[in-house]
Amino acid sequence: MELGIKAWARSRNLSCRVVVIVLLSSPLTKSFQAAMASFKEIVDRARAAFQSGRTRSVEFRKQQLLQLKKMYEENRQTFLDAVHSDLRKPKLEATLFETGFAEKDLDFLLTRVEDCLKPQEVAPVMPQDKCLIYKDPYGVVLVMGAWNYPLQLSLIPAAGAIAAGNAVIIKPSEVAPATAAAIAKLVPQYLDKECFHVVCGGVAETTELLKQRFDYIFYTGSTGVGKIVRDAANKFLTPTTLELGGKCPCYVDQTADLDIATRRILWGKLFNLGQTCIAPDYIMCPKAVEGEIVAKAKEILKEWYGDSLEKNPDLCRIVAERHVDRLAGYLNSGKVVVGGKYDKESKWVEPTILVDVKENSKVMQDEVFGPILPILNYEKYQDAINFIKKGEKPLAMYVFSKQQNVVDAFLSQVSSGGATINDTLHHAANPNLPFGGVGHSGMGAYHGDYTIDTFLHKKSVLIRNFDSAPEKMLSLRYPPYTDEKLKILSA
């Protein structure tokens, strides 16, 4: 676990921590030891509440979801201020993909929660039988949120777990301290205090939390930390959903409307200043298309943000200084043709496009997670497909083309968590589509009905009566075994 702590530390900004239920302190102090003991108490309280049956009724679930909705409505500005404090996130982006996204998800859950929980009848093998799929909540669920969308990535999975009838412990990201503090303060004011808890803290506290026994773990974050979470879950064979990331490719060919394509790619890349798990990570296109994309990008950036991008309120900020250092290290991976400026103190990295990028360059080794967009050149779409397939499976894939055979080739040959054709990000906004990764980009899916399904165990149930008619047929299974019985049963 020591190696796990170090890996976690590298993925977090340890200078920013919020500790509400636990105390921030040295592992050697009594307060830290008391905090560690409190984790078991919190989990035990949640488990006792679940085992009492109070989370199972549809009425209780609906009431708690309505309370969550009330919390959003009455504290919308508080949450908007919090995400602005953490990331300087513009109001439009914060509303669309934080408060508004979470509220719309709740509205969807409220319309579906009752139907999704009814036992599902399926066809029997024996006509006299009745076969059902019961949907049981797992029990005590741990939801671990991420800092880039610190509100919705913590509370949308939690809402699904509540809708499914579980007790929930929410661990918001300490790297977004203002949002974590808001969640920790407000959730107990609106939700049942025994069934639902918020735990805040840093690396050491989270490491101790993962030593507790949960019935399901839902984690959003980096692949490296996802492996740590999975290792911790393995101790108790706890099922997990891992919403991770990776390098999301964006292919553009000469048939695409390049003005529209460039706008849609830049919007997807610069939303949250590139700190989005499904942001286009790099572009693949023919050399001639590259020149047009670069020229149009310069025009569009000026149209959107003016001459002083750093002062424009419609652009987010990088979450931490160390991430500015990381992004600055990618600038030598190619020729800077757009942007390239950065300021560590203000946590600013300018929207940047790199060309003449090599496949093995530094910027192509890691998920960029920032406003730097490298371009690789391919004349044949199959070469681009082959390049993607050499790497880990991406969380999302984008293809801009009017050629259906090209689109079909990417969709049929490339395994990815999801895909949008001729736009970016939008497949993640439809609650009727499952959102999740595959391979190194994650496991499991959620959004809409799929969020509820994630936190339910499907229990197979067969109901058989004592009538004599079916028993005559069923008695053939009893010894002594004969060839005649085998012949009848095999027919």
Beta bridge partners of 450: none
Place of tokens 């808001």: 182
Q: Which two tokens stand for residue 377?
A: 């050149």
The answer to whether 277 is a known catalytic residue is: yes
Of the candidates 134, 190, 125, 200, which has an alpha carbon nearest to the alpha carbon of residue 169?
A: 200
Q: Which of 174, 243, 292, 367 is catalytic?
A: 243
SS3 call for 18 = coil
**Are 381 and 406 spatial neighbours (Cβ–Cβ below 8 Å)?**
yes
Q: Strand 120-122 vs strand 130-137: parallel, antiparallel, or unpaired? A: antiparallel
List, edge to edge, every strand of the sheet that includes 140-144: 196-198, 167-171, 140-144, 216-220, 240-243, 442-443
**Are 337 and 343 spatial neighbours (Cβ–Cβ below 8 Å)?**
no
Residue 230 CA to residue 239 CA, distance in Å, equals: 9
Of the candidates 121, 123, 122, 118, which has an alpha carbon nearest to the alpha carbon of residue 136?
A: 118
Q: Which of 277, 285, 316, 350 is catalytic?
A: 277
Q: Which residues contact 254 (CB under 8 A, 6 or more apart)?
A: 286, 288, 289
| Greatest Cα-to-Cα distance within the chain, rounded to the nearest angstrom | 89
Residues in the chain: 491
Q: Which long-range contacts (CB under 8 A, 24 or more apart) does 386-393 make?
A: 387/284, 387/359, 388/249, 388/414, 389/413, 389/414, 391/247, 392/246, 392/247, 392/439, 392/440, 392/441, 393/246, 393/417, 393/437, 393/438, 393/439, 393/440, 393/441
The answer to whether 195 is a known catalytic residue is: no
Torsion over CA: 380, 386, 391, 395 (sign): positive
Catalogue the active-site residues: 243, 277
